[in-house]
């Protein structure tokens, strides 16, 4: 099968040069970091984005490619609706290359209990103005051709969309660079420079940059970096497996999922397939440290998680990964430039079996690629987007919990205005860091 298209062997596309000083440093070249840098540059701020490996090398290129409002936490939903507007604008700038298409998202129910959950979400989402509709079994059959699965019905949002992640995010980085952002790949930020109790710059493997503010958008690496500076983020990572088929006849033009498998049509005529909910979790020191905070979501979603005793060497929460390092020495971020997990063979087999059972006229799908990514997740499956009160100058933008690709353009705008001291236009209370320490009840977002 084909290797994943972005790896440490991918030629460097963004090489700086590294400045001595700027206004803001963004750590991490996923969609959140890229779109934050884009928006900061548009506001006239001097911004440098440092990526330890390759732009979009990790989860931002390895996700399903869905751009969905449907099923969002209601704290996220207004930002996601804004994000969809940005995606439409971006598609006008970049054209077909972005892979943006509005073909809708369909959630499929095998039980009446699932239908009731869909209706509960739709009823509350109605007040936001989302075009989500319940679908009967007959309506589902009309939309999804030749399916043998006896779905009870579904939830459908026609305005939801998709794009091709490993193409889209590097294109967005080119757009950020064109607006004045400096982007430097192969440039790990080892540490923050701190003086007088606040951020005064960063130390990278290529040299130091003086700055007043830093945005930490390091995905699966954020908690490791933050803890080294005394900032605790209860973030863990799960391995998510995805695969791509060879071209197949179209059964549905959009994105769809039930509890067994998910699929979306791709521009090459194949489908991106993934499990509906299953993922793997490597147990490490942070898992023990944060166990209590994760109990609510574990109780809600325990059966979909396979627990593995240890992560591979140099992963963020591997047992042997250092938690402290010197700023003038090689950091953990340089030892693992691009997280490239092996996909789960068990999940690949299960998804292919589920897809073939659902579409017997297509048979077992022939795969052209299979890969995995590490999703940065939070105890309530909702991001942290907040200033760190204990360390002025540091802004967190992490824990996107598998929701980051679609909402990236919206959150990038929000984070840039947060950094710039402008009105963000949205209530960010749901995303505050202190929710994990101020006695608030951990309330997991919708598991839709």
Q: Is 286 exposed, middle or buried (0-12, 13-18, 19+ CB in 10 A)?
A: buried
pLDDT for residue 445: 86
Tokens describing residue 350? 């299960």
* Cis upstream peptide for 17 (omega within 30°): yes
Task: Write the CA distances from 367 to 16, 251, 252, 351, integer angstroms.
Answer: 37, 17, 18, 11
* 3-state secondary structure at position 136: strand
pLDDT for residue 302: 64
* Cis upstream peptide for 131 (omega within 30°): no
Q: Report the chain's terminal Cα–Cα distance, integer Å.
A: 31
On whether the CB atoms of residues 143 and 132 are closer than 8 A, the answer is no
* pTM across the whole model: 0.97
- List average pLDDT for each run of 10 residues in the chain, which is 448 residues long: 93 97 98 98 98 98 97 97 98 96 98 97 97 98 94 98 97 98 98 98 98 98 98 97 97 96 95 94 94 82 84 96 97 97 97 97 96 96 97 98 96 98 98 96 84
pLDDT for residue 304: 81
CA-based nearest residue to 90, from 413, 400, 418, 416: 413
């Amino acid at each position: 099968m084909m290797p994943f298209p972005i790896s440490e062997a991918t030629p460097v596309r963004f090489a700086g040069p590294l400045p001595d000083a700027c206004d803001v440093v963004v750590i991490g070249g996923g969609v959140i970091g890229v779109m934050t840098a884009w928006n900061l540059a548009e506001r006239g701020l001097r911004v440098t984005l440092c990526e330890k490996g390759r732009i979009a090398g990790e989860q931002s290129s390895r996700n399903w490619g869905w751009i969905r409002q449907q099923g969002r936490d209601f704290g996220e939903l207004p930002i996601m609706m804004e994000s969809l507007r940005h995606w439409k604008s971006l598609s006008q700038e970049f054209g077909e290359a972005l892979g943006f298409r509005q073909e809708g998202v369909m959630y499929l129910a095998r039980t009446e209990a699932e239908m009731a959950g869909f209706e509960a979400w739709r009823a509350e989402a109605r007040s936001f103005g989302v075009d989500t509709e319940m679908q009967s079994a007959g309506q589902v059959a009309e939309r999804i051709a030749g399916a043998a699965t006896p779905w009870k019905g579904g939830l459908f949002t026609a305005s939801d969309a998709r794009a091709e992640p490993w193409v889209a995010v590097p294109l967005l980085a080119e757009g950020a660079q064109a607006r004045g952002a400096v982007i430097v790949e192969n440039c790990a930020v080892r540490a923050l420079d701190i003086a007088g109790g606040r951020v005064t710059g960063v130390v990278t493997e290529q040299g130091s940059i003086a700055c007043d503010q830093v945005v930490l958008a390091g995905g699966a690496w954020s908690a490791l970096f933050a803890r080294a500076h005394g900032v605790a983020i209860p973030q863990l990572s799960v391995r998510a497996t995805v695969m791509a088929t060879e071209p197949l006849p179209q059964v549905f033009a959009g994105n769809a999922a039930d509890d067994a498998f998910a699929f979306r049509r791709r521009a090459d005529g194949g489908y991106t397939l993934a499990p509906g909910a299953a993922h793997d979790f490597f147990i490490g020191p942070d898992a023990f440290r944060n166990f209590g905070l994760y109990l609510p979501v574990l109780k809600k979603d325990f059966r979909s998680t396979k627990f593995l005793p240890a992560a591979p060497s140099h992963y963020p929460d591997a047992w042997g990964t250092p938690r402290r390092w010197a700023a003038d020495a090689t950091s953990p971020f340089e030892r693992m430039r691009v997280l490239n997990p092996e996909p789960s063979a068990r999940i690949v087999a299960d998804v292919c079996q589920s897809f073939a059972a659902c579409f017997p006229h297509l048979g077992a799908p022939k795969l052209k690629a299979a890969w995995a990514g590490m999703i940065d997740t939070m105890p309530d499956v909702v991001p942290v987007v907040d200033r760190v009160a204990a360390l002025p100058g540091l802004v967190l933008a992490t824990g996107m919990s598998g929701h980051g690709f679609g909402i990236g353009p919206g959150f990038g705008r929000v984070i840039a205005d947060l950094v710039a001291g402008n009105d963000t236009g949205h209530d960010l209370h749901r995303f505050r860091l202190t929710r994990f320490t101020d006695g608030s009840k951990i309330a997991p977002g919708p598991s839709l």
